[in-house]
Structures are given as C-alpha cells and as structure tokens.
C-alpha cells in the first residue's frame, strides 16, 4: 500500500517504488519507507535483496520504474543527480568505483570544484577532511597506492568534504579489522550526533548491533520489517526470513535465559555491563 505522507516533511520518502533493470530483473517491488531528518538506519538482507538498488534511488543514480522517491519533498525524477549530490553523499562498497584522481588531495577536492566552491573554501574543506580521517600523510599519494581500508577512507573523505545532509555507506566494514571497525563505528555515531542522516547497507550484524540504529530488513526487493535494533536482531523469525544471522552475543544470552539472564542482548558492551553486575560490580 502506498504511503500517505501528508506534507512530505520527511527527509526521505519512498512511495510504492518498483524498479526493474534492463535485463528484466525486478530489484524493488513496492517499497515504502520514511527516513526522518537526522535518523540512523541500517539496511540489511541477503545478496540480491535490493539494498544497493534502494540506496541508489536516494541519490538519484537510479529512477523508479514505478512509484516515487522524494528528498526533502522533491521527487528525484525532477532534479539532476548533481543537484541531489549536494544533499546525498554515497560511498560505494568498492571505493575503486568512485576514485579516479591522481592524488588523494585532488580526489577530495574534485566535487568541491564541480560545485563551484572558491579556492579558499576548497583548501579549508580538503584540509578538514584529510585530518578528520587521518589521511594527511597521503595528501600527495595516488589513492590506488593505498590499502583497501585507506581507499575507503579517501572515498568517505571525498564525500564528507562537501558536507551532505545524508551520508550513505554501502558495506563500510568489508576489509576492516576490529580496531578499524570500532573507529568507524565511533565516527558514524559522531556524524549522526552532529545531525547527519546516516544510512548504512551491511551484512555485518555484529557491527550493526554495536551501532544500534533503526533496522530495515529486505527480502526479494521488499522491506519486510522496520524497527529498533534490539527488537529486530532478537527476532529469529524475521532475521531468518532476511537471511541475516543473530548476533553471537544474542545467541549466548539466549542460552543463558534459563539462568535468569535477559534474552534481548545484542552487543558486547551491554553484555559486559550485565556480567559485571552479576559479578557484584567487580571488573
């Protein structure tokens, strides 16, 4: 059923969206969603569920076969991708799909130049992005000489430099070790606290559990559930339908339920607090 979105005050609205690729693959089938200004959302589901297709509709790279997508009340079919890019920054799963400049500095400044910023502002924004993502030492280095994780940081810096209201990260944890994931988690949470609308597409259930966003589960081109991370990630029926695993911590606490432990535990931080309390507060 299409969304009754009233005054379209939501930042992102999808109203009965269908999308079929030229080869006939139906990737989205009747998607309805609302994402509010400043919300943090994780889109999860198996490969081929339509997650990446969905977020490419938010920045206008794809247009609906049927239905409509609105960003701040404006239909994406009525504005250019360049116009949408000022509001929506998308970091692709594979950073090599969006990196092309000879140096990291040039990569980060490219969009700023295209958007018509003056040289003083460009330098300020590039310096800010390099420092923010700890890339200053690679300023004059080719992005393609960097590791996969470093290239992802360059791609993110190139998007954040123009300060979009909406930041979309497609599979941001692939190729990252635990320390890098934790740094990324803190960074994403900080972005969200600064008022950015943050959307991540990911299979990494442990990462999502520790971020604790709103979750949208997808299956075969449809959104089958939306809700708080704790409710979604402890619902075995739903996660099985979307081919998403339960967090390991949730599995452990499920087994401890008969011993009086709470069942709906999804992340290591909460688990540690519960165990410390059971041990009399001794760390």
pLDDT in tens, 84-100: 988 999 999 888 888 88
Q: How many CB atoms lie within 10 A of CB 181?
A: 17
Q: How confident is the model over 15-34, as pLDDT tens digits?
A: 999 999 999 999 999 999 99
Position 282 scores a pLDDT of: 56
User: 3-class DSSP state for residue 154?
Assistant: helix
Which part of the chain is CATH 3.40.50.300? 12-238
Q: What is the 3-state secondary structure (H, E, C) of 36-80?
A: CCCCEEEEECCCCCCHHHHHHHHCCCCCCCEEEEEECCEEHHHCC
End-to-end CA distance of the chain: 52
pLDDT digit string, tens, across residues 218-249: 999 999 999 999 999 999 999 999 999 999 99
For the stretch 69-82, pLDDT in tens is 999 999 999 999 88
| pLDDT > 70 in the chain, percent | 95
Alpha-carbon distance of 81 to 69, in angstroms, equals 13
SS3 254: helix
Q: Is 161 helix (H, G, I), strand (E, B) or coil?
A: coil
Indicate the CATH number for domain 12-238: 3.40.50.300
pLDDT tens, position by position, 41-60: 999 999 999 999 999 999 99
Please give the model's pTM, rounded to 2 decimal places.
Answer: 0.89
């Amino acid at each position: 059923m299409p969304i009754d979105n009233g005054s379209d005050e939501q930042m992102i609205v999808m109203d009965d969206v269908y999308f079929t690729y030229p080869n006939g693959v139906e990737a989205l089938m009747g998607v309805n969603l609302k994402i509010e200004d400043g919300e943090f959302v994780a889109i999860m589901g198996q490969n081929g569920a339509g997650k990446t297709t969905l977020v490419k509709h938010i920045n206008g790279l794809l247009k609906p076969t049927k239905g409509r997508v609105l960003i701040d009340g404006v239909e994406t079919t009525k504005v250019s991708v360049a116009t949408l890019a000022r509001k929506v920054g998308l970091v692709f799963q594979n950073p090599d799909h969006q990196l092309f400049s000879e140096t990291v500095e040039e990569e980060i400044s490219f969009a700023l130049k295209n958007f018509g910023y003056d040289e003083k502002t460009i330098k300020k924004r590039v310096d800010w992005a390099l420092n923010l993502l700890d890339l200053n030492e690679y300023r004059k280095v080719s992005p393609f000489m960097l590791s996969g994780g470093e290239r992802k940081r360059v791609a993110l810096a190139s998007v954040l430099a123009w300060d979009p209201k909406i930041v979309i990260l497609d599979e941001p944890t692939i190729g990252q070790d635990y320390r890098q994931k934790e740094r990324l988690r803190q960074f994403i949470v900080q972005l969200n606290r600064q008022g950015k609308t943050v959307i991540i597409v990911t299979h990494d259930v442990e990462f999502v559990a520790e971020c604790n966003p709103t979750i949208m589960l997808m299956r075969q081109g449809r959104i089958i559930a939306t809700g708080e991370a704790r409710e979604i990630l402890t619902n075995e029926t739903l996660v099985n339908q979307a081919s998403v695993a339960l967090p390991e911590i949730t599995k452990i606490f499920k087994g401890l339920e008969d011993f009086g432990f709470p069942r709906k535990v999804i992340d290591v931080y909460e688990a540690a607090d519960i165990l410390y309390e059971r041990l009399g507060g001794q760390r």
